[in-house]
Amino acid sequence: AFADLPDDLAGPQNEKHRRKLAQYFVQRRRANIRHYMKTATPFPERQEAEESYTLGEKSAYKRLFDKVLRYARESVRTAEGRDHRQRV
């Protein structure tokens, strides 16, 4: 039934398609996955940490950041190169 859906489901004209698809999406949380089908499943423990570093003008982090930012900005430009799309 979903084989002929439009490639782009954005916009109010496609809301009915999005609602129909949403009925089939299953979202699971970490706790659900751990005990899936009453079996302990191997799932990594979450380790939260914050690391900080300086984006000095000549640092490798700064160069990487600049390259990634340039790439991201280019990837959201329209074919004409003047506008930016909202979604990628």
Please provide the DSSP assignment of 14-39 as one string.
GHHHHHHHHTT-----HHHHHTGGGS
Three-state DSSP state, 70: helix
Q: What is the pTM of this model?
A: 0.34
Using 50, 70 and 90 to split pLDDT, how confident is the model at 74? confident
Cα→Cα distances 26→22, 38, 56, Å? 9, 18, 44
pLDDT of residue 45: 79
* pLDDT value at 13 more than 60: yes
Question: Would you call 62 exposed, middle or buried from its count of C-beta atoms within 10 A (0-12, 13-18, 19+)?
Answer: middle
